[in-house]
Structure 1
Amino acid sequence: MTTSHTGWINFLRQYGPIPRNDNMYDETIQRIVNKKNISPILIDAKYLKELIENFRSEQPKSVVLTGTAGDGKTYHSREVWLDLGGTYEQWEMPGNIKTLPIESHKTLYVIKDLSELENHEREYLVLFAQAIKHQRSDVVFLIAANDGQLIEALKQIDEHSDAVGIRKVIEEMLVTEQKEHTEYGVYLYNLSRISAAWALPQVIDAVMNHSGWQDCNHCQYRDHEDIHQRCPIWENKKRLEDVDGTKTIRDRLIDLLELCEINGIHLPIRQLLLLVSNMILGHPDVKDKLMRCQDIPDIIEKRTTVKASIYRNVFGENLIERRREATVVFNTLGRFGIGNETSNKIDNILIFGNDDPELKDLYQELMLSDPYYGADTTFKIQQKAYLEGIAEDGGAEFLDLVRSQRQRLFFSIPRDKENELKLWELTTFQYAGEFLTKVYRAVHQGAKPPSQILSRLVRGLNRISTGLLTRTQDKLILATSGSHSQAKVSKIFESFISVMRDRGESVQVKADPSGRLNLEVSLSSDPAIPVVKLHLQLIRYEFLSRVAEGALPGSFSRECYEDILAFKSRLLKQLDERRKQEQEQDDFEINDMSFHIIKLNAEGVLDKKTVEVLF
């Protein structure tokens, strides 16, 4: 074996979940690049071209880069600096503020990290305020900061005569996600708005296409004719590179990341690099839990290549639990419960598929076809011992292998078998695939969700609103307990809202300008009665769908339940507004003392019964 050319693998390990000072992450990677003469992992920086064009223009504006740690603020700043003529040596010199003359005969001030600004350097923020107010035409700024630091720093100069109002302007741009201000000379780029689902393929391609893989050309383990002698690093690389052309690993990962974003969870580029590095190099029995070339002979000899499975590494299974939970990307992906959740069919295939004639073809396709990470020798031995009841540990080791296989199947079940095998039952969110493809993406492409999905959501809302197991789904039922709207069972009928558009009433799923999905209930065509919106993210969709099908998922039901009741309260408030308007328009006072009781018929459909109050 050739182990002398291991620089690339050692470099790739630096992106993985190894202990480091995160504040120096970018600088540490850059020093290794320069010291070892290794090509950096270059990812398409979404806004870099725009930034450079701005600073090269005749009338450049100042730029503020915001975002969480790992979003690329330092990377963008340094690349702008280098492109405009600054040197790496100057960038690395002590000092948080760098200056550079640029083509427009202005001086560019770069504040590398606003959190490291010293008290005596606050005057530069006043200069920044003067620049964006057009009071100083000779200077322009590039500032990197997270949102909180930025507003806090601007507060400290708020009283200065030249900086009055600047904090409010920047704060408003942040809240409204406004990139450019019409009056002030400033751009604001929030790098946290870069979609992880968009960025992941860029990260994968950058790692897969790196010239460093040429180091592996002469390794005897690279594509050994004996499958059990093959290098797991290279095997993981091939699977992520998509050698077979199916792209299932990538596509399923993108699905998971997009669902995270819909739920308001942002994963920065740094976490995606960590994820990809760990997927390729992860193994629980080696130093730092990340493989090096010199580890491969021992792994092969001990037959522990299965522990390097890319399908386990995607969830950080190579790490100790404490480390895994402390790493944002693994903690986030872990919430999908992949490996712990299953269906009877999947487990029957994994456990009994080799002996069951009805499952044998699926067992062949899903397990035996992958002797490296699927039904390898260890799995077959443990399976046999488990079925014969002779496993020394009571089958614990085999069940752990089954858990790993569920993880593998989530990323390898072919698209044409997703529905047959109920792919998303391998996750905590059984309706996630439907929500993503038939609702979220459909609405963003200008289509409407299928009518049966909207009906199910309405049925779920009706069950929560009334506390009754109703099957009514063509109209939304508003009901109270007579005392307050938060009661678990509400039998006092208030109103029906038609799901299909009817005299201004409707229930629809729409996307707002920010891209968020909402369930919108319209009670009137009168613009004075605004639409009532419920933000429809994955957890609420799952909750409503499960309630509609008769189950209450206890793990996240309380929060969702309270959210839906709050939504119901807002609907009742708008209903009161509508009634007031109707009374004013009819110009008479209603003295009728009656109310309606909701009743459930034999088919589960809700109806109302009028009760008159006599004096």
Structure 2
Amino acid sequence: MYNEEYISYINSLHNYNAQNPNSYGEKNVHNQFFKDVMVEVGLSKFILNSLQSEEPHVIVLTGHAGDGKTSIMYQVLSELGIAFEPDVKICDYALPSGRLCRCIKDFSEISDEEKVSVLSEAMKMPMNGNYVFMVANTGPLINTFGNLFDEGDERERAKIELIDSMDSNTGSITEINDYKICVINVATVDNTYFANQFVDKLIQDKLWEKCDGCPKKEYCHINANREIIKANRQRVNEFLNMHYIWLTEHGKRLTIRSMTEQLAYMITGGFNCDEVSMVEKYKYLFSNLFFGYVGTVVNTKAFTIVAVKEANNCGYDSKRLRSDERILVNREYDKVFGKQMSQIITDAEQKNAYISGWTEFLRRAYLFTNIETDEMVLAHNYEDIFSKQYRRYLQLRNGESSPSRADANLVCDALSMIYVGTTSNDSMIPLTLSREAGIAQNVQLITGTLMTKSIKIVLRPTKDSLFNSDKKRYSLKLEVNKEELESEITLPLLNYFEELKNGIISTNVDPQLSHGIESLKAELSELNDDSDETFEMIILRNSGVKAVSLEIADDGIIREL
């Protein structure tokens, strides 16, 4: 017996072979390795404080299936010294304060016939000085909560108030018809930090000691993946972090369960110890498995893991890099990769150098295991793989830097392109009415103006910063004349601004980005509500932009001023 039990456990965390009994939920809690790989969530500290310091109320942890709600309950109860019983749906525990806390492990698993009575009883417990901590998927919670009320209007009003509480997600206690309730929507809480911490847990030394004496160690791809990840931890950490944030910022937030499945699969490839055999080392590299490849060939079966499919759809390995010359032409493997990876690539090159997919294979390996130290090269890599504004956005998002005038100038240039069709060095940006056709009209009506010096980007803590006190995150907002707009400057919007500044006009803007643009334009228009009887137009000419001011005289004739 070597490390079969642990490798089998890792494989139980993904659904590649439909063998997913644990999957980071209540089943997982039973396993001997659960505590070793469990990632502590900042939200558990917030809930713990609520149960110890706040007045008696009902805490509802809601969100999508797979968001890690059950694990959060486990962490909270463990901190309280209470043994978590995953097989018992409803348990009453005594808190250190002596008050009672009812834990409803998963409200969605309770039968439809019992849901109303269970929720009704739970909502009344704070009236007797007790707490309730429950996990519930969003749909069943909203529908059942409405059924606690008899009259139709009251029922709908209560459901709307509950939904509003979910949307605001402030973590505060809300009174809905005398029910004291705090709803925390996990689906809106940043979880991108999870990946790196989880990988650190998976590869920790004590869980791999039994592999040392295994006769398959020299050719085992599972052990090799662990060693390569450990040797390239910084680069692996950087790429995972940037990848998952990239997905989230583009409206494809993954659940904890989805990330768990992908990260577990990228180490084992779905193989248990007894299935490991002597194969070429490059085939089951974690850099291939992460994207659903075996060597140079895509493995569509891996797309049953949602996160693997999403990573493959990003197409990182098809993007041209400024480092391609060193990798593909000069083949500087010893300088670009570490010793172990360089040897694997050199061995594989003998058979694969001229086959389809080799270029993409090298790029995938480069994403995770390059040993570049030149800051300029690294900056180019992230521009080529993601976007020019991405690293800057991360600095602002993480509070590592403050917005500069250059950031505001990017917005000004983009707004000038949106409203006028050209970038301008003027101190003023005219707000125009024009047909949305991607081509600027020659004559446009001016509805207002913006002074470029009055435009700033400011950082504001996101709502979920409350739940992750040690992981600050900020949103980018636009401030005009010291008035902050509601619209957020998202990463897609920032990238779009960069393209506009460079004269690139996209004719295929996704709905999420389009909504952000129109929301921003609507707010800017409200800042310039002018009822004056004069109006202005701009005329776009080859020699430049000409402004024309007109007025409607008392005799009804329009005259140029």
Range of TM-score over shorter length: 0.7 to 0.9
Structure 1 residue 314 and structure 2 residue 284: aligned?
no
- Counterparts of 1:410 and 1:607, CA distance in 2: 49
Structure 2 residue runs without a partner (length 5+) = 464-472, 552-557
CA spacing shift, 1:272–1:193, aligned 2, 3 Å: same
Alpha-carbon distance, 1:175 to partner: 1.8
Identify the match of residue 141 of structure 1 among 113, 119, 132. Answer: 132
Task: After TM superposition, list the pairs within 5 Å mapping 1:382-531 onto structure 2.
Answer: 382-383=352-353, 386=354, 395-396=355-356, 400-414=357-371, 416-417=373-374, 419-420=376-377, 422-427=380-385, 429-437=387-395, 439-441=396-398, 444-445=399-400, 447-449=402-404, 451-466=405-420, 468-472=421-425, 475-481=428-434, 488-490=439-441, 491-494=443-446, 495-501=448-454, 506-511=455-460, 514=463, 517-520=475-478, 522=480, 531=484
Q: Alpha-carbon deviation of 1:217?
A: 1.9
1:202 paired with 2:197, answer: yes
Q: Quick one: which amino acid aligns to residue 424 of structure 1?
A: Y
Partner of 1:217: 212
Give CA deviations for 1:253-312 in whole Å, capped at 9, x if unaligned: 112223333445433322232232122112xxxxxxx2322343332xxx2x21111222
More strand by share: 2
Does the C-alpha gap of structure 1 residues 321 and 498 become closer, same or farther in structure 2, counting only changes over 3 Å?
farther
Separation in structure 2 between the aligned mates of residue 298 and residue 270 of structure 1, nearest angstrom: 31
Query: Equivalent residue for 1:226?
Result: none
Distance 1:518 1:540 in 2: 11
| Cα contact 2:316–2:385 (8 A) shared by 1 | yes
| 1:342 Cα offset (Å) | 1.4
Distance 2:546 2:287 in 1: 51
CA contact (8 A) 1:510 1:517 kept: yes
| Preserved CA contact (<8 Å) 1:485 1:569 | no
Change (3 A) 1:463 1:370: farther
Structure 2 SS opposite 1:98? strand
Q: Is 2:108 aligned against 1:112?
A: no
User: Does the CA contact (< 8 Å) of 1:341 and 1:428 recur in 2?
Assistant: no
How many angstroms apart in 2 are the aligned matches of 1:448 and 1:125?
A: 47
Aligned match of 1:8: 6
Q: Residue 77 of structure 1: CA displacement?
A: 3.2
| Contact 2:108/2:140 (8 A) holds in 1 | yes
Distance 1:469 1:85 in 2: 64
Work out the CA distance in 2 between the residues paired with 1:87 and 1:369: 47
Taking structure 1 as reference, are residues 315 and 148 closer, same or farther at Cα in structure 2, changes over 3 Å only?
same
Cα distance, 1:43–1:513 mapped onto 2, change above 3 Å: closer
Structure 1 spans left out of the alignment, 5+ residues: 223-228, 283-289, 355-361, 387-394, 584-589
CA distance in 2, matches of 1:477, 1:510: 26
Whether contact under 8 Å (2:414, 2:500) holds in the other structure is yes
Give the distance between the partners of 1:479 and 1:373, measured in 2 at CA: 60
Shift of 1:569: 4.3
Match of 2:540 in 1: 599
2:271 to 288, 291, 308: 291
- Give 1:23 shift: 9.7
Write out aligned runs for 1:324-403 (5 A).
Answer: 324-343=302-321, 345-354=322-331, 362-367=332-337, 369-371=339-341, 375-383=345-353, 386=354, 395-396=355-356, 400-403=357-360
Hey, what does 1:240 align to over in structure 2?
229
| Alpha-carbon distance, 1:107 to partner | 4.5
Q: Which residue of 1 aligns with 2:520?
A: 567
1:8/1:212 contact within 8 Å kept: yes
- Structure whose CA Rg is larger: 1
CA distance in 1, matches of 2:499, 2:227: 39
* 8 Å contact kept, 2:438–2:505: no
Match of 1:286 in 2: none
1:122 aligns to what SS in structure 2?
helix
1:281 and 2:268 equivalent? yes
State the secondary structure of the residue aligned to 2:453.
coil
Structure 1 Cα separation of the partners of residues 38 and 55 of structure 2: 29
Show CA shifts across 1:375-409 (max 9, x none).
322224443xx4xxxxxxxx42xxx1210211222
Corresponding residue SS for 1:157: coil
Helix, strand or coil: the match of 2:192?
helix
Q: What's the counterpart of residue 65 of structure 1? A: 61
Structure 1 residues 30 and 448, CA gap change in structure 2 (3 angstroms): closer
Which structure would you say has the larger RCO, counting Cα contacts within 8 Å and 6 or more residues apart? Answer: 2
Residues 210 and 113 (structure 1), Cα distance of their counterparts in 2 relative to 1, 3 Å cut: farther
Offset from partner CA, 1:344-379 (integer Å, 9 cap, x none): x3333333214xxxxxxx554115855457632222
What is the alpha-carbon distance in structure 2 between the residues aligned to residue 59 and residue 509 of structure 1? 35
Q: Please tell me the root mean square deviation across aligned C-alpha atoms, in Å.
A: 3.8
Inter-partner Cα distance in structure 2 for 1:474 and 1:326:
54
Give the 3 Å change call, closer, same or farther, for CA 420–52 of structure 1 in structure 2. Answer: closer
CA contact (8 A) 1:57 1:104 kept: no
Give the partner amino acid of 1:143. Answer: M
Q: Which residue of 1 aligns with 2:90?
A: 97
How many Å separate the matches in 1 of 2:48 and 2:525?
53
CA-to-aligned-CA distance 1:153-193 (integer Å, 9 cap, x gap): 201113389x9876555433322212131766544343334
Structure 1 residues 88-133: Cα deviation after superposition (integer angstroms, max 9, x where no partner): 6x6425xx3334455655554322222222213422212222223x
Q: Secondary structure at the match of 2:318?
A: coil
Contact 2:61 / 2:183 at 8 angstroms: preserved in 1? yes
Query: How many pairs are equivalent?
Result: 533
In 1: Cα distance, 2:268 partner to 2:198 partner? 15
1:535-582 deviation per Cα after TM superposition (whole angstroms, max 9, x unaligned): 22222221221121122345546764564355334423432x2x23xx
- CA distance in 2 between counterparts of 1:509 and 1:103 reads 43
User: Against the structure 1 CA distance between its residues 84 and 178, is the aligned structure 2 distance closer, same or farther, given a 3 Å change threshold?
Assistant: same
Q: What does residue 389 of structure 1 align with?
A: none
- Contact in 2 for aligned 1:479/1:485 (Cα 8 Å): no
2:160 equivalent to 1:178: no
Query: Who is 1:253 aligned against?
Result: 240
Deviation per CA, 1:577-605, whole angstroms, max 9, x where unpaired? Answer: 2x23xx5xxxxxx4x5x643233555xx6
TM-score (normalizing by structure 1): 0.74
State, as a whole percentage, how many aligned pairs show the same letter.
16
1:144, distance to aligned residue in structure 2 (A): 0.7
Matched position secondary structure for 1:125: helix
Q: For the Cα contact (< 8 Å) 2:119–2:145, is it kept in 1? A: yes
**CA–CA distance in 2 between the matches of 1:20 and 1:201?**
24
